């Protein structure tokens, strides 16, 4: 079976709640109106019926999107964006909003090898135990702090050495050593960069960070994407993997070679294409609040990310994913027994994030039965029912869910309850942007430069007109970036975004106008705005209002938060 990228990337971080709040026992009480950053969302009625015919032995059919938890980067989306010409910097900036790029030293990572119980190793060029050199043809067997040098794997004893640390090292220390110097396990010939030894009773591979990442990336992404226009996606994966490892080390979380950390295969897993991605991004990490960010990733977002540590964004690159759409049928008996509600009488999504298809990714599911009802975080439903993702709706449910703001999460940048618009952009590196795969065409860079120069003046003027950083927009959250079409530009602020087009000028969107612009498909459907639309940021709005765009008009009802396109 072909390997599914990101399938194994559950990666719970110790001390951090994966699902948010747990089960909420509930009666038929409704959900009150939610106020998120001044945006009035709509709520479910006081009494909610699932409208799904549930009988004993019946089934619930779910319409779903994506594969994995949906937090951070979607790997299929990254591939899709790379094929559209985005650089790895642009991909990372899109999925990991609020981070900045930096460089770190090639520190050592200690990786627990869960499939190993002993250390019996050799190297074609020889190796070292402590300060003692071991000749080619000899091997070393570790037992506690004692290293026994033997004449080949399974041969006679040559010498014993007491070690301050139970570790066997290459003949020459350092990253990127040639193959003859790499350590091999006796019997399996499994090969590793760095050193091998014990940490307590666990076998560990102590390896330079970038060498570790070379053993991770080919296990976590489809390597052949590099041959299909996706080399930049592999670079983005390398940065995400490197950053995630450092974030784990920062909180002293043990790193192993499984999905509990990142799947790691040592030297034997390496591929020239993924090694090139690691080398091209050597030492580059993403920082948030002065620390390495928890750069989670999963296979496919289904069209919208889940928020948490980074602002939730629409994911147009994910249209390429084979897991974009799916259905799952679950027996009512299985659901009822899993959640302990007696015989199942209702199963419905009562809260969703509103971004993407079918009201967006599910947030909360109400499961009702003869024994009571529980409100369960959708990520927990996904895990317990073994669904591909938490991005699902219930076939036959006619009562719409309440639309709530995606979680901003621990340490994430506030977005005013408004989803970020999917535009390619990048955070400049201290040493320059990551090397991009050469593109085609002539003068494209000059055209973009001219566009951004025009946008800088126009957006700056609009920002000043609206009161600067102390005005309605607040502080800028990032640089001016080209829009998805490449014919306009956008800059995001704390409370909205300013869009610019040579034919439309600079106009600001915020609150419900920006939210519904994103939900309706953004620039690709509506074009760029023709006027400012900030009403719900400036005070309560009770009347239906319109937002005008080059491709049509959005009419928004503030009482429900819903919009129609005219």
User: What DSSP letter does each residue of 455-472 carry, written as one string?
Assistant: HHHHHHHHHHHTTGGGSS
> Does residue 60 sit within a domain?
yes
* CB distance 268 to 191 below 8 Å: yes
d(CA 126, CA 128): 7
CA–CA separation, 155 and 158 (whole Å):
9
The answer as to whether 387 is a domain residue is: yes
Same domain, 122 and 199: yes
In this structure, is residue 184 part of a structural domain?
Answer: yes
Residues 476 and 558 in one domain: yes
Looking at 174, 209, 244, which one is the last position of a domain?
209
Question: Mean of the pLDDT values across residues 121-147?
Answer: 95
160-186 residue pLDDT tens: 999 999 999 999 988 989 999 999 999
Helix axes 272-280, 231-250, angle to 10 degrees: 60
Indicate whether 394 and 470 sit together in one domain: no
Query: Total structural domains in the chain?
Result: 3
CB 413 within 8 A of CB 477: yes
Among 209, 232, 250, which residue terminates a domain?
209
- In which element (H, E) is residue 517 found? helix 511-519
**Summary mean pLDDT of the chain:** 82
d(CA 340, CA 344): 9
* Region 187-215 average pLDDT: 96
Q: What is the model's pLDDT at position 10?
A: 39
**Segment 74-91 mean pLDDT:** 96
Give 52's pLDDT tier (boundaries 50, 70, 90): low
Helix or strand run (H / E) with residue 373: strand 372-377
| Residue 199 CB-density burial (10 A; 0-12 exposed, 13-18 middle, 19+ buried) | middle
Rg (CA), the chain: 27
Distance, CA of 535 to CA of 276 (rounded, Å): 49
Answer whether residue 309 is part of any domain. no
- Confidence (pLDDT) at 449: 66
Q: Please state, in angstroms and rounded to a whole number, the distance separating the CA atoms of residues 433 and 241.
A: 18
Same domain for 470 and 531?
A: yes
- Does residue 365 lie within any of the structural domains? yes
pLDDT at 486 over 50: yes
By DSSP bridging, strand 291-292 and strand 284-288 are antiparallel
Question: Residue 93 domain-assigned?
Answer: no
Does 558 share its domain with 448?
yes
Are 455 and 546 part of one and the same domain? yes
Q: What is the DSSP letter of 142?
A: E
Q: What is the mean pLDDT of residues 233-254?
A: 96
CB contact at 8 A, 275 and 265: no
pLDDT, tens digit, 9 for 90 and up, residues 403-426: 888 876 433 333 333 333 333 333
Beta carbons of 166 and 145 less than 8 angstroms apart: yes
Domain limit, last residue, from 169, 194, 209: 209
User: Which is nearest to 196 in space by CA: 269, 123, 247, 271?
Assistant: 123
Residue 362's nearest CA partner among 384, 335, 389, 344 is: 389
Q: What is the pLDDT of residue 453?
A: 79
Residues 489 and 382 in one domain: no
Could you tell me if residue 179 is inside a domain? yes
C-alpha to C-alpha distance for 43 and 34, rounded to whole angstroms: 7
| Structural domain for 386, as ranges | 24-69+327-402
H or E element in which residue 218 lies: helix 209-220
In a domain, 162, yes or no: yes
Q: Give yes or no: residues 463 and 558 share one domain.
A: yes
Q: Are residues 53 and 138 in the same domain?
A: no
Considering the domain architecture, whether residues 449 and 550 belong to the same structural domain is answered as: yes
With beta carbons less than 8 A apart as the criterion, state whether 369 and 394 touch. Answer: no
Distance in angstroms between the alpha carbons of the first and the last residue of the chain: 47
Q: Are residues 450 and 558 in the same domain?
A: yes
**558 plus 452 within the same structural domain:** yes
> CB-based contacts of 369: which residues, under 8 Å, 6+ apart?
336, 339, 341, 342, 343, 344, 345, 346
Give the span between the Cα atoms of 16 and 53, in whole angstroms. 38
The backbone region for 386, taken as left when phi is positive above 0, alpha when psi lies in -120 to 50, beta otherwise, is left
The SS3 call for residue 75 is helix
Residues forming beta bridges with residue 482, ordered by sequence position: 489
Tell me the per-residue pLDDT of 318-353, one tens digit each, with 9 for 90 and over: 999 999 999 999 999 999 999 999 999 999 999 999
- 451 pLDDT band, cuts 50/70/90, is confident
């Amino acid at each position: 079976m072909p390997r599914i990228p990101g399938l194994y990337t559950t990666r719970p971080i110790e001390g951090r709640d994966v699902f948010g709040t747990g089960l909420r026992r509930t009666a038929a009480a409704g959900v009150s109106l939610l106020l998120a950053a001044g945006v009035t969302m709509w709520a479910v009625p006081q009494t909610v019926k699932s409208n799904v015919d549930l009988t004993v032995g019946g089934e619930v059919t779910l319409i779903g999107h994506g594969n994995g938890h949906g937090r951070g980067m979607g790997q299929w989306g990254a591939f899709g964006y790379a094929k559209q010409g985005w650089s790895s910097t642009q991909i990372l900036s899109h999925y990991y909003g609020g981070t900045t790029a930096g460089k770190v030293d090639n520190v050592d990572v200690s990786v627990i090898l869960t499939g190993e119980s002993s250390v019996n190793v050799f190297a074609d060029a020889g190796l070292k135990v402590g300060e003692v050199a071991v000749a080619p043809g000899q091997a070393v067997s570790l037992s506690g702090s004692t290293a026994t040098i033997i004449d080949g794997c399974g041969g006679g004893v040559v010498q014993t050495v007491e070690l301050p640390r139970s570790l066997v090292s290459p003949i020459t220390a350092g990253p990127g050593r040639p193959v003859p110097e790499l350590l091999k396990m006796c019997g399996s010939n499994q090969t590793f960069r760095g050193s091998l030894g014990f940490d307590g009773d666990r076998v560990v591979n102590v390896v330079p960070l970038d060498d570790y990442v070379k053993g991770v990336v080919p296990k976590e992404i489809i390597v052949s994407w590099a041959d299909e226009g996706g080399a930049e996606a592999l670079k983005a994966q390398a940065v995400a993997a490197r950053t995630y490892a450092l974030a784990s080390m920062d909180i002293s979380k043990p790193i192993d070679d499984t999905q509990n950390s990142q799947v790691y295969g040592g030297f034997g897993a390496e591929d020239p294409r993924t090694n090139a991605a690691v080398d091209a991004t050597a030492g580059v990490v993403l920082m948030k609040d002065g620390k390495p960010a928890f750069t989670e990733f999963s296979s496919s977002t289904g069209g919208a990310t889940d928020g948490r540590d980074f602002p939730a964004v629409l994911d147009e690159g994910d249209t390429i994913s084979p897991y974009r759409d799916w259905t799952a049928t679950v027996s009512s008996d299985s659901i009822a027994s899993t959640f302990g509600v007696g015989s199942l009488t209702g199963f419905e999504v009562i809260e969703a994030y509103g971004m993407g298809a079918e009201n967006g990714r599910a947030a909360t599911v109400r499961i009702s039965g003869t024994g009571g009802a529980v409100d369960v975080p959708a990520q927990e439903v996904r895990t317990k029912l073994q669904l591909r993702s938490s991005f699902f709706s219930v076939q036959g449910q006619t009562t719409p869910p309440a639309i709530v703001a995606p979680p901003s999460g621990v340490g994430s940048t506030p977005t005013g309850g408004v989803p970020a618009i999917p535009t390619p952009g990048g955070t400049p590196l201290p040493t320059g942007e990551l090397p991009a795969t050469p593109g085609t065409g002539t003068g494209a860079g000059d055209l973009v430069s001219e566009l951004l120069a025009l946008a800088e003046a126009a957006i700056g003027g609009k920002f000043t007109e609206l009161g600067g950083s102390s005005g309605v927009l607040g502080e800028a959250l990032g640089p001016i970036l080209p829009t998805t079409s490449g014919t306009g530009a956008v800059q995001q602020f704390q409370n909205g975004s300013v869009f610019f087009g040579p034919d439309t000028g600079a106009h600001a969107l915020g609150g419900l106008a920006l939210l519904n612009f994103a939900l309706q498909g953004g620039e690709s459907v509506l074009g760029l705005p023709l006027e400012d639309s900030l009403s719900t940021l400036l005070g309560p709005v009770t009347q239906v209002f319109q937002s005008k765009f080059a491709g049509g008009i959005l009419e928004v009802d503030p009482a429900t938060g819903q919009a129609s396109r005219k």
